[in-house]
Amino acid sequence: MIKDNVYIKLFACCILVKGAKRATIVDIQRHDYMFVPLGISEILEEGKSRPIEEVLQGYNAADVANITKYLDHLITREYAFRTTEPELYPRLSLEWKNSSLISNAIIDFDYHSDYPVEPIIDQLEKLGCETVQVRYFDAACILWVSQLLSTFARGMGKIRNIQLVLGYSREMDKSSLIRLMQKHERLTEIIIHSAPEESLLIHQKRYPLRFIKQEIKDESHCGFVSPKYFRINAPFFIESQHFNSCLNAKVSVDKNGMIKNCPAMDSTYGHVNDLSIDDVVIRQDYLDWGNISKDQVEGCSDCEFRYICSDCRVFTKTGGRYAKPASCTYNPYTMSWEQEPVIKEKQGAF
Ligand code: SF4
């Protein structure tokens, strides 16, 4: 039943994202989303500033009944509510400011890597980096891992999350790794790739120690797009409105010690022995990659998932700077996944 001066509003945490053929309402508080037809999304948009009765004038009785039923459904699912005082419910600000020049970093190694890690950790600490993923593509030695973590421990403490992706070796037994997690509280996740068996242990009910059979032998193991990898939370959603959801405030050092935006990129700024990360991350050519939002990417700009889907600027359909990620099989113009999305253990994007 529609009453005078009643507005239908979405909760502030439930945000409409229009695609080419349908819209989503993304609930960044409950980490969920639902689809809505474009017609309903337009009514919700119009209904922000006008009572619903006024918005529905001009529709015939059958349409009003159907629309009302749909709006009731949104209210039942707690995406929307009725109010006679819409001014009391302001919109959520979607402004984003990077709190530091670098928020996350990837450092890659393999058996042949011979660059020093200490200066890199020092530079990341000074830049205010919070999360670092270290990947070792070959079988890793527990002594090397322990020394690496001790180097992190000597830092200023700005780095709060350390994720390790390590090649399996016999030394990589669960008890040794759990001991490392107990000793180094900032170690938030360990993935052991190329393991003989799959298993998952959750240390302190929060920190996963995962053994996977899949081999992660180089930096090409990245850039997968699937609903399984959608990230539905406020920071990711808001950052994606303005910046690249993978490369913003990210720096990487590849297995040869070359500084890059992403380790899988061909282009590099130089070797860590020859220049400092501080000098790279203020360069315009470095910043340009982080500034490519999904709204600028071909196809993605029309996709209703664009603010919950992690981007990839390296593996793209045509190789172009603004081309759609290569592994995406979603077509926003037909609203269908044209092939089963590739599901692999995802690495490399925070
Ligand atoms: S088109 Fe594919 S890659 Fe682009 S936002 Fe949609 S699901 Fe993600």
CA of 225 to the centre of ligand 1 (A): 7
CA of 15 to the centre of ligand 1 (A): 18
CATH number for the domain harbouring residue 320: 3.20.20
Residue 308 Cβ < 6 Å to ligand 1: no
Q: Which of 47, 63, 88 is the last residue of a domain?
A: 88
Q: Which of 226, 241, 294 to mutate to test the pocket of ligand 1 (most atoms within 8 A of CB)?
A: 294
Same domain, 50 and 196: no
Same domain, 314 and 175: yes
When pLDDT is cut at 50, 70 and 90, the band that residue 316 belongs to is very high
Average pLDDT along the chain: 93
Same domain, 76 and 178: no
Q: pTM, whole model, 2 decimals? A: 0.91
- Please identify, by atom number, the ligand 1 atom nearest to the C-alpha of residue 300: 4
Same domain, 50 and 130: no
When pLDDT is cut at 50, 70 and 90, the band that residue 342 belongs to is low
- Please indicate whether residue 251 or residue 319 has the higher confidence score (pLDDT): 251
Sign of CA dihedral 222, 226, 228, 229: positive
Same domain, 237 and 276: yes
Lowest-confidence region among 20-24, 151-155, 219-223: 219-223
DSSP 38: H
Same domain, 23 and 149: no
CA of 300 to the centre of ligand 1 (A): 5
Residue 313 Cβ < 6 Å to ligand 1: no
Share of the chain above pLDDT 90, in %: 88
Q: Which of 61, 88, 115 is the last residue of a domain?
A: 88
- pLDDT tens track for 80-113: 999 999 999 999 999 998 889 999 999 999 999 9
CA of 259 to the centre of ligand 1 (A): 28
Same domain, 181 and 297: yes
What is the number of domains present in the chain?
A: 2
Per-residue pLDDT averaged across 254-282, rounded?
97
Residue 309 Cβ < 6 Å to ligand 1: yes
Same domain, 208 and 177: yes
Residue 82 CB partners (closer than 8 Å, separation 6+): 6, 7, 8, 9, 75
Q: Which of 38, 63, 88 is the last residue of a domain?
A: 88
Same domain, 171 and 248: yes
Q: Is residue 343 part of a domain?
A: no
Give residue for tokens 């015939």: 60
CA of 101 to the centre of ligand 1 (A): 27
Domain that holds residue 189: 104-337
When pLDDT is cut at 50, 70 and 90, the band that residue 205 belongs to is confident
Q: Is residue 43 part of a domain?
A: yes
Other beta carbons within 10 angstroms of residue 319's beta carbon come to: 9
